[in-house]
Chains A and B, each alone.
Chain A
Amino acid sequence: MMFNISIDGASFSKNLEDFDSIRSVLLYSDLEPEWLDDIQKNGELFYLELSEGEEEAALAQATANQGVSTNHVRFSEKEAEIITEQNKKQRCGSRSKGEPALKRLARILRRKRRPSQRRGGKDGGKDSSNLSPPASILKNQPGQRQGVTVQQQQLKEVCVYLNPKRLAGSSTPLCDSGGLLEALLGVVHRPAWSRGHGEPTVRQEERLTVHGLIPNSPAIKCGQILIGDVLVAVDDVDVTSENIERVLSCIPGPTQVRLTLETVAPVDRGSAGDTSPLRRTKASPPVSQLVRLLWGEDTAELQMSIGHIPHIVMYLSLKLDSASPQEEEEILYQYPVSEASSQLKGVRGIFLTLCDMLENVTGGQIISSSLLLGKHLVHVGYWKESNNLLVIGLPAERVPLLYLQTVVADVVRTLKVMYGSLDSAFCKVDHTPRLDHFFCLFFQQLIQPSRLREGSSAPPPDVSGTLFLDGLPAVRWLTLPPEIKMEVDTVLSDFESSDFGEMSEDFFGLRRLYVILGSCLFYKSYLIANHLPKEDLLDVCLYCQHYCLLPLASEQRVGQLVIWREVFPQQRANGGSSSSTPGYSQPQGRHFLLIVGLRHFMQCVLLEAGGCASPAVGSPGPDCVYVDQVKATLLQLEVLEAGIEERLNAPPAPCLSCADWFLPAATARDRLDSLTSSSPVLSKLAGAVKGSSSGSRGRSLFGEKSRRSSPQRSLSDSGSEGQMDAGSGSGSSVAPGLSPHSTPDSARKLGGRRDSMGSGGSDGSGGSGGLFKASRMKHPNPFYLGTLKKTLTERETEEMYNTMKLTSGAENTLFHYVLMETVQGIFIAPTHREVAQLSGSIHPQLIRNFHHCCLSIRAAFQQSLPARGRRAADRPQSGGWGLGPVKEHGVLFQCKPENWTDQRKPAPTMTYWVIGRMLLEPVPQEFYVCFHDSVAEVPVEMAFRLSFGLAL
């Protein structure tokens, strides 16, 4: 069925000449997808499989080894086998028509076998040459432990999550023989005497050999406990058959325990790498809380840890049947059930009364109220829909009142996208577990985001930043070089045309199942291509944000992600009823969202059934053909990964500075050595210079010089150490300063640094008209290059030229920026990597502060927008009209280094601006920028024009 790809391949240029990708596509098409069993009764699918580690990245170009990946867990309670079977039957008509069970079994067996075969083929040579895997320092393979244990046997550590509470809930009695070991952990151990060899063993204590695993138990879910292993210790407590029950019974509540297992010869799993347990446990906890949450594993523990913080979501009915007053009947939905939230639940009468009454008093729906629970200030947001009221209570220290409305509106929109309306989301009983999960994610992300990301490499998120960036009606965009962009767009368009294979109507001579309305493509959480209308893009993005799919993909851990669900795009849902253009109405179709992720790529496809495709009946599950085609698209795109990575690694343009460079030296000097060795920028730069032997002297020298030469300190900065004013100089003026102990080598390093940090500057000074050329090459934005060029006058072009010069080069003072294109629904900000390169101790603080301030700035813009709309009509002349439309708003901040120890001198300070501006002409934009105070005021004005250079 995949021949069509290769036929089409001619138009895809060189991509498909890559034999491996075709092979991998074929590989996929050949076998039953493993997400098949996870499809739920209503057709929804959320299948997430992690791929571990670096080996896989290396292999990624060659094959997509889905079989090797280990972990996958059901998203929600497993469906009965019969239903799954039914599902498959009613799934697409084009594919398998209910295979005979035997055939299916055979397939599964084949799949099981495959990894080993493949591995044999791939690593065969290596394995035969050295039987024990090479001891790698980096990878911590089990081989290293050989000295500790005897013989071929090795110890491995496995973390499993146990929940004794589940035992109480389940009706199954503890089986006498297995006890807690079986019931709690899911490990079957048959004591020797019961194995029926007649003679009872003399030994009282027996080693706990795993004789079997209980399905769906923690032991089998973790995928690392094998039959034949011996359980040696639980949380470092040695266990035997004698004490195991006692040890396990001591576990009070849901918790994670570390099991030490003695395993027989490690086979050759070590080379596959991804199941090497020691590496896993040492590098990070098995999986981050986020992934476990997404998998729908037990959320009790996470929820418990924020139980003392008051937060709640309730869906209340405003219409009460007073005839049959039942306890709590007005609560249609409620989450969570904790002590603090029960207090909020107790006062739901307040919410209902206020909602009912205030509309009459002040002439507007209630939006929010603030309550004080003991010491906690809680903001409650309201959303009324027909006769029901959604109430969301959040702690004030997490969500400022300024932004509460945005948060609530986003949740409501997400729910509407997922369920069509709030009523249909909350009023069906069988939605409850899914809503619990939804809101668990919601609260966890808001209240303890750090906990979710625990163990992942990503920097700790800051709440304000998340609030601000997620709250923007836009998606983070990554500008790509035009040739890559074109390639990506071509591949996507080809996919969307859906005129191949089983997706084309010619294939079966039937109407196709779905029309592809459009798709968008993410790479490491950046949007790199979008073929969806803005509102649809925002809908899709809200869903992705809510389920944290974007950060997930950026952390290199997604082996395979397949999501399928019916969605209700808001634009289409509303547009259908009130269509403005006569003679045209939106087709009344049903819409489905298909998200497929492979490693760093994630593609979201919006499908329509009905309209010109055949109408959907019932709740169809994901169609393999479409999933496979998306996968094939992603595999094709993988060729471009190198190019995109190159873009991500490129020096930031416009250049960014690190706040720490601007603080006078005294504290920085102490950290200098550590800085040079730890700072990714410097080490990277050192590495970038060819043939530089990074001796320690040379390095520290280099570090110092680079730090010195970067900023021009402003007059307002107090406490400057009276050192050089060379900062303003160009490379040539710094070089003499180096001379006392400089070698040609270090001078060259300096040059190297300039090249990599300041390339934007060299572009800018490239001569007349160079700006347009340079920036176009750097930031291809396909949208409105032409109009922009036309609207700019000669003078403005001149200023833009200055702007680029200003923000680049040696005295670059730009710290951070966010530019939102309102029309496209995208925003541009420095990439995570660019920010990470500018490590420093103050810079992260500064960015946090920037985001917090942006919350306020954007709130000021927001408040002025509706006023702007009605301005012409009825602008009241006498007061009572607020501040009026805000165009620009800026705040000046002062920062001091933390723990300043020198008593004699006042701490040095650094001041910087955070400025936001809303532009309505020529295109609506919002622009937020953060830069050092030393910029002369006139350039501040011009810094905004930078946005044009950026957007080009």
Chain B
Amino acid sequence: MLGYTLKRLLTLIPTLLVASILIFLFVHLIPGDPASILLGDSATPEEIASLSAHMGLDRPLWQQYLVWFKNVLHGDFGQSIFFKTPVLEVIADGAETSICLALMTMFWIVLIGIPVGIVSASFHGSWVDQITSGGAMLLASIPTFWLGLYLILIFSVGLGWFPSSGFPSISDEGGLSNLRYLILPSLTLAAPNAALIVRLVRASMLDVSREDHVRTARAKGLHPARVSIKHVFRNALIAVAAAFGFTFAALVSEAVVTETVFSLPGIGRLVVQSILRRDYPVIQGVILLIVLLYLVINLLVDLAYARLDPRVSLQ
């Protein structure tokens, strides 16, 4: 297990190298340049050219890449062109919001997706199943931004239960109760993903329930609920665990929309704004970190997979 983990961590290096090249190229393919955006409409071409030279943007792309890559290896992601502060600090500012949002979203996905999936499978074919499966289908189809706006309309504007936008740090006054700012955004983000988990749990449980070993469990005289959880759900979990890797990928892209709708100071909104500002170092830094996070999460999913299924051996 440990050896496998180390080997997998080593294979992250070439993947990250390729990813860094792609990210760098794509970011520089975006039309428009930072200097003209920084200086505004009234700037003369000479001013733009001199600022570009000052920022090193006039050098060939491969040279720029090598300089950036060398600095990244030293843990220096450069300075934000817009904020004039180190990129890592800019990212750290958004990280608290994004991490809290992600954790809370995962919490809803697990809390809603798994039990509802189990109920749906246990009563499959009945009206309970019709309602839960239909509801899940509906939630999976609703666009995130639309759901977010309607939640704001109902629970913030209408009922006044939750704030509609922003997120003061939990280290600020109010402490953990500031998490209420994230309830609507996390529900928005969780809805389509929880719906997918519901359908996946249901489908895998129905698959497993047809297997011979479930009949053996029933022949032992176990209570149906015990058969359902210990023998059907436990085995279905193997397929569900694999889906969490994909769910994370979906979360990253949907978070961009959700953070924008709820004006959250998170990393998703930071990426969008940085692209609009052509803040190359920030875009590159954030995307590289997301790639790293994605790879690590998939490694964790594989490790979980081996824990859940003794037939899988990690080599």
Question: Do A and B make up one complex?
Answer: no
Residues of chain B touching chain A, judged by Cβ–Cβ distance below 8 Å, are none
Residues of chain A touching chain B, judged by Cβ–Cβ distance below 8 Å, are none
